[in-house]
Amino acid sequence: MRTRPTLTWSAPGEALPRAGSLADVAEVLSRRRVLVLTGAGISTESGIPDYRGESGSLRRHTPMTYDEFTGSADGRRRYWARSHLGWRTIARASPNSGHHAVAALRAAGRVSAVITQNVDGLHRAAGTPGVVELHGNLDRVVCLGCRRTSGREELDARLRAANPDFGGTATRINPDGDVELAEDVVRAFTTVECLGCGGVLKPDVVFFGENVPRPRVQRCYRLVDEAAALLVLGSSLTVMSGLRFVRHAAKSGTPVLIVNRGRTRGDEYAGVRVDRPLGAALGELLALLAENPLPTTAAGS
């Protein structure tokens, strides 16, 4: 059973609960290893916009849904035409200071694991090991028929060959890897099928309205259960796929800390809530932690 996509969320009128400082976050990381959950806000400084910030893409476009992609050849053509251009921008993006800060925290033993809701691969590019990509990754493609997976570079070459005169001009990139594109350009685009069975090819990401694979969800719950605290970075937590882990942590008594620009759907569960842009905030957090060496027991746990 697929979930109904949640695209927007309205914050209540009351003030942010339990506001804190980066010193509060550093105090938690100085004595325990935490699980990090990141969202689109950590990638905005790499040139990839978020969905719901001040310049979020939901203000100008509706993301592809699972039902539209699987149920409509026109929907698939629209997605692949736009994503064919958008992928080049994603592939060229580089990790920013926020991604590198998370990698440094992981290497220093401050962070037990990283779960990301992003599909851009930038945490892996920054050198963070074992990242759980909750919503998949745009650099992989899966056949909905035979389930064969392949690399996005392979598909990119095939789409270039099938569309030698493709002259689309990309405007702004969206977090899901597509761009705005004129309809006449979309209609002229030719899609390709699976080389193995001739089935429909889909990026190996979770579309709106599609469920995250159960084994992946269960793994994330285990990571939450094993963590001493949960630190959310750059996510509005609007969609349940990320919010459920915050709720699970809070229900079990695991401290929740949130660093994000603007309100989040998980604010009521946070013991510490910091409203700051991530790049500068994480740089300051690293500086604060450098003054407090991690205890040997925590580093080895």
* Binding-site residues from annotation for Zn(2+): 143, 146, 194, 197
Determine whether 135 is an active site residue. yes
Q: What whole-number distance in Å separates Cα of residue 257 and Cα of residue 269?
A: 9
Q: How far apart are CA 216 and CA 204, in angstroms?
A: 13
Pick from 280, 300, 244, 236: nearest CA to 8: 236
Selecting among 100, 123, 135, 248, the annotated active-site residue is 135
Q: Phi-psi region for residue 198, left (φ > 0), alpha (ψ -120 to 50) or beta?
A: left
As given in the structure block, the two tokens for residue 222 are: 């285990």
Chain Cα centroid distance, residue 176: 9
Kindly state the helix (H) or strand (E) to which residue 232 belongs, with its residue range. Answer: strand 230-233
Tell me the binding residues for NAD(+).
39-59, 117-120, 234-236, 260-262, 278
136: left (phi over 0), alpha (psi -120 to 50) or beta: left
Upper half-sphere CA count for residue 105 (Cβ side, 13 Å) = 33
* Catalytic residue set: 135
